[in-house]
């Protein structure tokens, strides 16, 4: 069984889990992280095979990835969590909600409901991005230092790529060029995944998609009739990974969706352990499998 995933934890309040998309890393939340840690105890996780997170020994389906995320939460002594996810991370967030592990979910451009022609386009684009990013990996560091370079690297994912941080550009390299088990995850977690049991979701779910998101196509809104009580919010001037396109709007949506849950942290089935010195003031600590 695969060990816990690599993550950072910072802030104080109700627990909030951040799940990035495939082709990125936990760095993709750099623009919203400082704002979120003012309100939440934020767990920012690298998905399996990214950063220092081990690749899965089993087939990397959405269910298997969700299992790994749950084991990581268990290891941190955290029960139910609010979740902010993007793309594949949003799909995993919805799976956690189906399992009853999520208190609330903000799902940005979740995968899973695209039709076969859209899957072909998405798969081809992801394959090309992998090849190009691996070939150009040595250039990512220098390019990340300028707004023009970051715009060139992140234009397919962001509506305002010049406004991104160097961390986000490095995150794209970690996700596309450096990730392990890229092809199996692309196949099993993205291209052949079909969500089931969405009618069992009971927590508040806000579905979000940037109007400049060509990667998700029209699949985000397709969740709306399948997830009870869910809401759909389109984001103007936002792309597929809009965390730096509209950071304050995304933070507001997380806060509003969490308030709709109305579930105090004390109701979680697992009690979080006492925080070590320095972790409740917003200072991040990083945990990685040994």
Per-residue confidence (pLDDT) for residue 273, from 0 to 100:
41
Among 125, 132, 126, 117, which residue's Cα sits nearest to residue 183? 126
Sign of dihedral through CA atoms 192, 179, 238, 253? positive
Average pLDDT for the chain: 91
Sheet holding 81-86, edge to edge: 231-235, 205-210, 102-108, 81-86, 14-19, 40-45, 7-11, 285-287
279 pLDDT exceeds 90?
no
pLDDT at 287: 56
pLDDT at position 262, please?
A: 84
Number of helices (H), then strands (E), in the chain: 10, 8
The reply to whether CATH 3.40.50.150 applies to domain 8-270 is no
Q: What is the pLDDT of residue 286?
A: 57
- Tens of pLDDT, residues 185-197: 999 999 999 999 9
pLDDT-derived band at 285 (thresholds 50, 70, 90) equals low
Pairing of strands 81-86, 102-108: parallel
Range with the lowest mean pLDDT among 28-32, 108-112, 118-122, 272-276?
272-276
**Cα–Cα distance for residue pair 180/186, rounded to 1 Å:** 11
Task: Give dist(CA 217, CA 30) in Å, integer.
Answer: 25
Q: Helix 62-75 to helix 88-98 angle, to the nearest 10 degrees?
A: 70
- For the cut 50, the answer to whether the pLDDT of residue 72 exceeds it is yes
Contact 249, 108 (CB under 8 A): no
Nearest to 48 by CA among 172, 195, 181: 181
Domain boundaries, the chain: 8-270
Q: Which two tokens stand for residue 124?
A: 């081809």
DSSP letters along 186-234, please? IIIIIIS-----GGG--S-EEEEEETT--SSTTHHHHTTTTSTT-EEEE
Residue of 189, 229, 187, 236 lying closest to 210 (CA atoms):
236
pTM, 2 dp: 0.90
Say whether pLDDT at 3 is over 80. Answer: no
Element (H, E) at 27: none
Tokens, residue 44: 């920012």
Averaged pLDDT for residues 81-90: 98
pLDDT in tens, 246-266: 999 999 999 999 999 984 433
Give bridge partners of residue 7 from the DSSP assignment: 45, 287
Confidence (pLDDT) at 184: 98
Q: What is the mean pLDDT of the segment spanning 205-234? A: 96
Between these two residues, 116 and 267, which has the higher pLDDT value? Answer: 116
Contact 14, 79 (CB under 8 A): no
151 SS3 class: helix
């Amino acid at each position: 069984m695969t060990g816990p995933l690599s993550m950072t934890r910072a802030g104080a309040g109700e627990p909030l889990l951040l799940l990035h998309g495939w082709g990125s890393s936990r760095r993709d939340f750099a623009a919203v992280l400082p704002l979120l840690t003012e309100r939440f105890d934020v767990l920012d996780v690298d998905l399996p095979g990214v950063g220092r997170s081990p690749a899965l020994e089993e087939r990397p389906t959405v269910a298997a990835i969700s299992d790994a995320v749950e084991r990581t939460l268990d290891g941190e002594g955290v029960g139910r969590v609010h979740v902010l996810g993007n793309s594949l991370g949003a799909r995993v967030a919805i799976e956690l909600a189906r399992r009853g592990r999520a208190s609330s979910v903000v799902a940005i451009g979740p995968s899973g409901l695209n039709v076969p022609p859209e899957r072909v386009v998405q798969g081809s684009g992801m394959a090309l991005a992998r090849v190009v990013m691996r070939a150009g990996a040595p250039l990512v560091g220098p390019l990340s230092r300028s707004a023009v370079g970051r715009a060139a690297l992140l234009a397919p994912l962001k509506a305002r790529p010049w406004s991104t941080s160097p961390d986000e550009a490095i995150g794209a390299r970690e996700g596309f060029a450096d990730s392990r088990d890229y092809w199996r995850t692309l196949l099993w977690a993205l291209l052949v995944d079909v969500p089931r049991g969405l009618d069992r979701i009971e927590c508040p779910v806000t579905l979000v998609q940037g109007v400049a998101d060509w990667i998700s196509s029209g699949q985000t809104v397709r969740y709306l009739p399948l997830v009870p009580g869910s809401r759909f919010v389109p984001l103007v001037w936002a792309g597929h990974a809009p965390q730096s396109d509209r950071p304050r709007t995304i933070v507001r949506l997380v806060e509003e969706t969490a308030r709709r849950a109305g579930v105090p942290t004390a109701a979680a089935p697992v009690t979080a352990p006492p925080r070590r010195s320095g972790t409740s003031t917003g200072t991040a600590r990083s945990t990685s499998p040994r």
